[in-house]
Amino acid sequence: AQKITQTQPGMFVQEKEAVTLDCTYDTSDQSYGLFWYKQPSSGEMIFLIYQGSYDEQNATEGRYSLNFQKARKSANLVISASQLGDSAMYFCAMREGWGGGFKTIFGAGTRLFVKA
């Protein structure tokens, strides 16, 4: 079964508008972490935001926020005020537990296109 599911292969958003990228996860661990990464066309992986399973507040980093709904097992990324430079692939990822190597499982990604 898929551990991380990103159901939107591609998304379009108008510049300056907000966009939500969906991510659902599956785990039986109580302690886990959720991440979002950005991969521009140049190929590098850029860390955006982290949410721990015990964090009560939704994580925010500048224009990025993570809408964490634990009961629904969702960790959607919200980008406010989209910019042309936000056009990229976005990956949701999960680390299960604190032991066992801190292995991280990645979703298949969502490609975001920002229109001028």
Partner 1 sequence: DADVTQTPRNRITKTGKRIMLECSQTKGHDRMYWYRQDPGLGLRLIYYSFDVKDINKGEISDGYSVSRQAQAKFSLSLESAIPNQTALYFCATRDHSGGRDTQYFGPGTRLTVL
Rule CB under 8 A: which residues touch partner 1? 4, 33, 35, 37, 43-47, 50, 52, 91, 93, 95, 101-109
Smaller CB distance to partner 1: residue 18 or 46? Answer: 46
Smaller CB distance to partner 1: residue 59 or 81? Answer: 59
Q: Which helix (H) or strand (E) holds 34?
A: strand 32-39
Strand partners, 31: none
Closest contact distance (angstroms) between CB of 93 and partner 1 is 8
The most distant pair of C-alpha atoms in the chain lies apart, rounded to whole Å, by: 45
Report which DSSP code applies to 73: T
